Structure 1
Amino acid sequence: MEQIMNYVKPELIVVAVVLYFVGVGLKKAQAIPDKYIPIILGAAGIVICAVWVVATCPLDSGQNIAMAIFTAIVQGILVAGLSTYVNQIIKQVQKTE
């Protein structure tokens, strides 16, 4: 967990929490097969992180635009992975063996 936290921007941790609850909601709604939930969370994470990047970074050159796209994708994947990781930790702790 610490390793992941070293790479996720602190201001985007809240996105992981939001994605966790979105995933729980999708699971309980049973409207979408479970195998698609991580993909949906990944896409949602990228979109939310892209909004944050556009709002906080200057997009005045090609290099800045490329960096913004890269940052949005990487951070989106990381926060989605973090939310899935937390979900799995909770499931594993609740198991009785």
Structure 2
Amino acid sequence: MDILKFVPEQLAILIAALYVLGMFLKNTPKVPDWTIPWILLVVGILGSIGLVGFSPTAIIQGIICAGATVLTNQLIKQTTNGINESK
């Protein structure tokens, strides 16, 4: 199943923006790591509503964008850790 088919093209930039925001939050000492996905979720929903208008679909698309962002981050992080551990 291709989850990105549920995200309109204009929201693809939201995934990139959430990723960058997540990286900034990760490097901010006063932001606990456990709060970062929650912050990205709220910003993703608000960003989606701002881009496509308020609707239940926009809320779901915001959730998908935040989920795709966190998944992408974890794939990169876990793959890098796995490669480094296997050396």
**Structure 1 CA distance, aligned partners of 2:66 and 2:29?**
20
For residue 30 of structure 1, give the secondary structure of its aligned residue in structure 2: coil
**Structure 2 CA distance, aligned partners of 1:30 and 1:48?**
25
Task: State the TM-score, normalizing by the size of structure 2.
Answer: 0.87
Give 1:30 deviation, angstroms. 2.0
Task: State the TM-score, normalizing by the size of structure 1.
Answer: 0.79
Q: Which runs of 5+ in 2 are unaligned?
A: none
* 8 Å Cα contact 1:19-1:80 kept in structure 2: yes
**Structure 1 CA distance, aligned partners of 2:25 and 2:18?**
10
**Structure 1 CA distance, aligned partners of 2:72 and 2:32?**
20
The alignment covers a number of residue pairs equal to 83
For residue 29 of structure 1, give the secondary structure of its aligned residue in structure 2: coil
Q: Which has the higher contact order (CA 8 A, sep 6+)?
A: 1
Matches within 5 A, 1:1-97: 3-54=2-53, 68-95=54-81, 96-97=85-86
Ranges of 4+ aligned residues in structure 1 off by more than 3 Å:
none
Between Structure 1 and Structure 2, whose CA radius of gyration is higher? Answer: 1
Identity of aligned residues (%): 36
Q: CA RMSD in A?
A: 1.3
Q: Which runs of 5+ in 1 are unaligned?
A: 55-67
**Structure 1 CA distance, aligned partners of 2:8 and 2:29?**
32
Q: Which amino acid aligns with 2:57?
A: T
Give 1:4 deviation, angstroms. 1.5
